Amino acid sequence: MRPIAQPLLLALGLPVLLVAAQQQLLLRLPPRLERLEPAAASAGPAALQAHFSRPMRRSAVAAASRLRPSLAHGWLGSGNALRLSLTAGQRLSGPLELDLAGADLRGQALTPSRWHWDPRGRVLAVVSVAGGEQLQLREHNGSWQPITPVWPEIPLLLPLGDGSAVAAASRQGDGRLRLWRIPVRQANLTPQGNRRPTAALADQPQRLLPAPVLFAHLSSNRRGDLLVQSGGPEPGSSEARLLSRSGANLALPWPTSGPMQLLPEGGAVLVPDTEGLHLETLPPAAPQRQTLPGSRDLSSFCPQAGRAVLLRHWPDYRRSLELVEPGQPPRQLWLGRDAVVATACNRGGERVWALLLEGYQQPTLKLVMFGRQGQVLGRRLLSGWELEPGTGLHWDPASGELLAALRRLRRGDQRPEPARAVLIDGTSLELRPLPPPVRQAVWLPAG
């Protein structure tokens, strides 16, 4: 039996020896950067997520890596995944360069790499052109590029929260709306060999629904999911569908008295009705409802999870702005009779900006900046300007700028000029109008 047992033992032991040898060889190899990608940043202006081939020593990565310009930042996480987050309160006026280096837990050095990173949003606008309207995207160098054909009219525009696409509606000759999804490929993070900034590229528009609709409302979250509310002239034709980035198409069951809004962080939707605002969890999570009673509308979401600005309507026709936070009752920031045109907020609501209309006969537009306790941090009268109807106020955390589509009133007859995309400094509230004339303007998040 012995001559037979030795070959058998050898055959059984050889794979074990090969696996052990392979493990020793892998341990001797230096760690690798497997993936570096932009990450959703709720507190700071931007973040990157790094995935390595083996657990890294975070302190070594922080000590060996360099960021230019030298902005305050920190490394978070442990093991194979580390996150670089820029410290809150900083503003970017240009792209960044990251030298990534460090060592793993065994002291093996990571092969250094250099990356070009630009986390600033791009201006996306509906531009009037010969024959109708067109979606155009503004690059950081000031150039504009079309991303759709020319359509007669584009009444709806919504960038997906992860920057991967744009949802829009074109109006047909019969007044109905055709809904579209325009995929966008951005190159905001590139390795050293591609140091020249690359323009974003748009693919051909894809139909969101098989048939035109009479009305529609769109909402998205940072995951890239899209909520589509639509309906036709037939009774009972209204529906709400969740189109996830993974390809799932889910009908939502809740009746509503107004537009539904996906929470930015995902997992839930805000549903208004006559009783108040309801927060409903989305499948596959177990059904759960939270209700905020009263006559309130969502005005804007803040980047940090669970924070939002609400507009409350009072019986005496006054209005108030409220900041809501998880586990806290709404905090009133402002109360008055001015019309609230639009709002925006940063991080967790440390700053809230509101466009208010003051007066009745000849109302004046003003921009007010509030602190989280309701203190007025800044104020600017926008005499001679008005907000393009149906548009809002939008915040880009990387550049620290607000964006609005504003029309300048001509003197004398007071007829407005065509609207412009206007950048507004989030601290000084200074205005910087951009050419060309537009109908709407929003930020396309850096994907």
Where does the pLDDT of residue 234 fall: very low under 50, low under 70, confident under 90, or very high at 90 and above? Answer: confident
DSSP letter at 416? B
pTM, two decimals, is 0.91
Where would I find the beta strands (DSSP E) of 221-337? 226-231, 239-243, 249-251, 261-262, 268-273, 276-281, 289-293, 296-301, 308-313, 319-324, 331-336
**Which pLDDT value is given to residue 197?**
60
Q: Residue 352 pLDDT more than 90?
A: yes
- Which has more pLDDT, 83 or 1? 83
Query: What's the pLDDT score for residue 1?
Result: 43
198 or 252, greater pLDDT: 252
> What is the per-residue pLDDT across 268-315, written as a single tens digit (0 to 9) for each?
999 998 889 999 999 888 999 999 998 999 999 999 989 999 999 999
Dist CA 407 CA 232 (whole Å): 32
Is the model's pLDDT at 429 over the cut of 80? Answer: yes
Domains of the chain with CATH codes: 33-117 (2.60.40)
Name which of 110-114, 136-140, 191-195, 298-302 the model is least confident about.
191-195
pLDDT above 80: residue 98: yes
DSSP state of 420: E
